[in-house]
Amino acid sequence: MTRMTGSTTLNAQTTTTLPGAEVLLRALVEQGVEVIFGYPGGAVLPIYDALFKQDHIRHVLVRHEQAAVHAAEAYARSTGKVGVVLVTSGPGATNAVTGLLDAMMDSIPLVCLSGQVPTPLIGNDAFQEADTTGITRPVTKYNYLVRKPEDLAPAVHEAFAIARSGRPGPVLIDLPKNITVGDAPYVDAGAVTPRTIRMTTQPDRAAIARAVAAMKAGKRPLFYTGGGVINSGPQASENLRRLVALTGFPVTSTLMGLGAFPGTDERFLGMLVCTARTKPIWQPMTAMC
C-alpha cells in the first residue's frame, strides 16, 4: 500500500536563471534522461529549439502521440528507467491519454511533458487549448500545471520521484508556452524535497497465516501470479519459484506476470485470460490440479 503525503519543499541554494525550456532539459539530464519520444507542435516549439541546441538527450520522432507513450513504455520496461514523452497542447495531449492509461494500469514509470497555451489564455478556448490536467487526472499517478517559473524545475524533479516510487506509474507535467519561453530559476534535484511516498513494507503476519491455512485446506490449490512479482524485483521471482517447489502447486499468471515463473516448468499452466465464455476459463485449468 502506498500513500503520498506532504508538499514539495526547497532547501536553500544558489539558483541559476535560464530560459524555461533550458531549465526543463537541464532537470531532465540531472534525472538521467537520455531519450525522449515525442511529436512536435506549436506549444512545445521552444522545447524543441532547446533540444536542437544540446547533445545530451536524443529525441525519437513518432507519427502519433499515442505511439510516443507506448514507445516510452517499452523503453521503461526494457531499461528500468523512467520513460519520457513530449507532446503538444490540445489534440497532442489528448492523443496521449490511451498510452497514459495503459501505463497506469501496467505500473510503468513515465513522465509526460505536454505543451499548453500561455497562462493568460488558459480557460479562454484558445487555439489547441484543452484542460489537460483535468482530462489526465484519472489516468495518471499525479499531474501538474506549471503556472509559475519557479515551480518548473521542482515539478520535474518531483515528477520523477513520484513516477519511480511506490507502485510506479505515469506523471504528467503541463507546460504553458510562456513558462518555457520566459526565464526560470534552476533548482538542483538535491534541493527539492518531494512529496513523500509512504509504503507498507512490513508483512501482515496474520494475513500470511490465513493464506497458509487456505493453502493447506484447498482441494485444488493454484497460484495466480501477477505483475507485482515482476515489479518487486528478481528476489520476488526467486521466492515464488521456491514456494512452488515446496508446495508443488500449479501456477498460472496474468499477462503482466509472465516471466516471474519459468514457462517451461511442468507446473506452469500458461497465462490466464478473459473471454466471452459463459463459464470461467479457469474451470478446465483447475481440472489439472
**Count of domains for the chain:** 2
Q: What pLDDT, on the 0 to 100 scale, is given for residue 3?
A: 43
Per-residue model confidence (pLDDT) at position 9: 59
Same domain, 106 and 245: no
In this structure, the answer to whether residues 221 and 273 fall within a common structural domain is: yes
pLDDT tops 70 at residue 282? no
Q: Are residues 154 and 93 in the same domain?
A: yes
Would the CA dihedral through 54, 59, 65, 68 be positive or negative? Answer: negative
The vertex-238 CA angle with 220 and 234, nearest 5°, equals: 130
Residue owning grid cell 519543499: 9
Of 128 and 200, the one with more pLDDT: 128
Residues 220, 161: one domain? no
Q: What's the CATH number where 255 sits?
A: 3.40.50.1220
Do both 274 and 240 map to the same domain?
yes
Residues 17, 47 within the same domain? yes
Mean pLDDT taken over the chain: 89
Last residue of a domain, one of 184, 199, 214: 199
Q: In the predicted model, is pLDDT for residue 286 greater than 60?
A: no
CATH of the domain at 32: 3.40.50.970
Asked whether residue 167 falls in the same domain as residue 227, the answer is no
Let me know whether 51 and 9 are in one domain. yes
In this prediction, residue 125 has a pLDDT band, given cuts at 50, 70 and 90, of confident
Residue 152's pLDDT band (cuts 50, 70, 90): very high
Of 199, 229, 244, which residue constitutes the final position of a domain?
Answer: 199
Please give the pLDDT value at position 18.
94
Checking if the pLDDT of 7 tops 90, the result is no
Domain housing 57 = 2-199
Instruction: Please give the model's pTM, rounded to 2 decimal places.
Output: 0.81
With a cut of 80, say whether residue 278 has pLDDT above it: no
Q: State mean pLDDT over 25-29.
A: 97
Mark whether 87 and 155 lie in a shared domain: yes
Q: Which of 42-51, 156-165, 265-274 has the lowest mean pLDDT?
A: 265-274
Inter-helix orientation angle 152-164/20-30, to 10°: 30
Q: Do 46 and 141 have their domain in common?
A: yes
Q: Give me the mean pLDDT over the 195-199 stretch.
A: 67
Residues 124, 38 share a domain: yes
248: phi then psi, degrees, rounded to nearest 5:
80, 10
Q: Are 195 and 211 members of one domain?
A: no
Residue 108 clears pLDDT 90, i.e. is over it? yes
pLDDT of residue 284: 47
pLDDT score at 194: 80
What per-residue confidence (pLDDT) applies to 228? 87
